Structure 1
Amino acid sequence: MNPAELEKSKSFISVEIIEYIPNSIVSKTILKKSTGNISVMSFDSGEGLTEKTSPFDTFAQIIEGKAEIVIDGKSFYLNTGQSIIIPAHQANIVKANERFKMILTVIKSGYE
């Protein structure tokens, strides 16, 4: 088993995989493959990711709290249970106006 991944054939509760750490962003890999990866992340209030651009589409699913995701300068406010696809090659920022957890899925295939 890849130690960077969660154990296979064993159920888990996504929101319980990761804890909040004060003044921090925490990330844990659920699955990592050459064709993409799935991670769960927690953001403490006031934290965020600096603007970046990915060569791949990214599916962001909020599993606890509320997030602000900025894509090409437009803010999207997502609540628990909501999701958004961040398009490849578009500048994006993730902001935690309050603490939240999300699952990020990056699909690398289809761009060959």
Structure 2
Amino acid sequence: MSQIYLKNIPHESIFELVGQVQTIPGQIVSKTLAQNSAVSITLFAFGKGEEIGTHDSDGDAMVSVLEGTGKFIVDGHEYILKTGQSLVMPANKPHSVYGEEDFKMILTVIFPSSK
């Protein structure tokens, strides 16, 4: 049996990534697709007005908006991203995420290699 590196999504099937999480009013829904010491891939669905407060990460974080509009504040700079747009939030810079409306995104974080 082979090891599974990507979880919680279909394998060897065509699917739409945006359909893998559902927006629920008043909530943030997340689904982890991969998590290890090198990478983290997570799908998120934000209800309008929901937010993840200011924090930082050891790795570079790239967000891609799959549906809707989200506001991202990175090191004091505001970015409004719409469907199809992406943004890299550099490692160790404070950032936050806010649902300007219901929106879905995929977050990929690449962590520094441990030597």
TM-score by length of 2: 0.88
Query: After TM superposition, where is structure 1 displaced by more than 4 Å over at least 4 residues in a row?
Result: 1-4
Q: Confirm or deny: 8 A CA contact 2:6 2:34 kept in the other structure.
A: no
**What SS does the corresponding residue of 2:97 show, helix, strand or coil?**
strand
- Structure 1 counterpart of 2:61: 58
Which piece of structure 1 moves more, 27-36 or 51-60?
A: 27-36
In the alignment, is residue 35 of structure 1 matched against residue 38 of structure 2?
yes
Using the TM superposition, give the Cα deviation of residue 18 of structure 1 relative to its aligned residue in structure 2, in angstroms.
0.5
Equivalent-residue separation in structure 2 for 1:111 and 1:93 (angstroms) = 26
- Aligned residue pairs total 112
Equivalent-residue separation in structure 1 for 2:85 and 2:94 (angstroms) = 20
Equivalent-residue separation in structure 2 for 1:31 and 1:11 (angstroms) = 19
- Structure 1 counterpart of 2:48: 45
Q: Confirm or deny: 8 A CA contact 1:6 1:31 kept in the other structure.
A: no
**Paired letter, 1:38:** I
Structure 1 spans left out of the alignment, 5+ residues: none
Structure 2 spans left out of the alignment, 5+ residues: none
In the alignment, is residue 88 of structure 1 matched against residue 91 of structure 2?
yes
Summarize the Cα distance change of 1:109–1:6 in structure 2 as closer, same or farther, 3 Å threshold.
farther
**Between the two proteins, what is the percent identity of the paired residues?**
33
**Map 1:9-24 → 2, pairs under 5 A:** 9-24=12-27
User: Residues 52-97 of structure 1: CA distance to partner in whole angstroms, max 9, x if unpaired?
Assistant: 0111100100000011000011100011000000000000010112
**Paired letter, 1:14:** L
